[in-house]
Structure 1
Amino acid sequence: MSTATARYAGHLRTEATHVASGTTILTDAPVDNHGRGEAFSPTDLVGAALGACMMTIMGIVAERHDLDLTGVRWDVTKHMLADPRRIGQLDVVFRLPATLTEKERNLLEKAARTCPVALSLNPEIRQQVQFEYSA
């Protein structure tokens, strides 16, 4: 069975549907590439997937160790290259609770770096990942 089905909606937009849940994602070409920038671009989704995957793997590890990461936030910044047009770098900054011990921090950071998306991306795409700890 398919993971997703999709259709081209015209005007540089797509709509993908997750088969198991029925959830949809819309994409739009970015303004700098002939689009309107009114939704995630496909390359934006790659960056969002990297952050979400890292957070999911940290969440799995956190649950195993009775750590509550509810409310953890992160930002992703995508840097494009021009020729050929492609992702050159993804910066991910996680904001985690300052109450985590050094051992817990190391465990979570190591887990994040082993997420399947991070390991699947072309090695030419730089992944700059930072972990900030604050109250």
Structure 2
Amino acid sequence: MTTSKVTYQGDLRTSAIHLQSKNEIITDAPTDNQGKGEAFSPTDLLATSLASCMLTIIGIKAADMDINVVGTKAEVTKIMAADPRRVSEIQVRIEFKTELDERTKKILEAAAFTCPVAKSIHPDIKQDVTFVYGRGE
């Protein structure tokens, strides 16, 4: 089954439609690569997908353990390399609103690294993930 349809709109912009939900994502080339930078770039989506996937897997594991992780946030930094131009590192900072015991931290952190995106990213791309607890905002 087809997942999405992507259409080139011109001016280095694409429109992607998720066929099941009809949700749309717009991408622009980044300003450092001839684009306008008015939306996520494709490489931004790659980096952001890692954080989104990790939070999803943490959410599944937390629900199994009857732990509320609603409001957990991730900050993502994408590092680019040149020659060839590619993502070389993805930094993810995952911030839990509450403090958790050491056993629970270990379980949730291990779960994050089992997410399909983390397992699909080429090993040459460094995944630098930091977990912070008790950031009740």
**TM-score band w.r.t. shorter chain:** over 0.9
**1:1-135 map, 5 Å:** 1-134=1-134, 135=136
1:30-84 alpha-carbon deviations (Å, 9 max, x no partner)? 0000000000000000011000000000000000011111111110000000110
Q: Secondary structure at the match of 2:118?
A: helix
Moved over 2 A (4+): none
Hey, what's the Cα distance between the residues in 1 that align with 2:16 and 2:98?
Answer: 38
Hey, what's the Cα distance between the residues in 1 that align with 2:62 and 2:133?
Answer: 15
Instruction: Give the letter aligned to residue 76 of structure 2.
Output: V
Identical columns (%)? 48
Deviation at 1:98, TM superposition (A): 3.6
What value does the CA root-mean-square deviation take over the aligned residues?
Answer: 0.8
Q: Which runs of 5+ in 1 are unaligned?
A: none
Q: Which runs of 5+ in 2 are unaligned?
A: none
Higher strand share: 1
Instruction: Give the letter aligned to residue 50 of structure 2.
Output: L
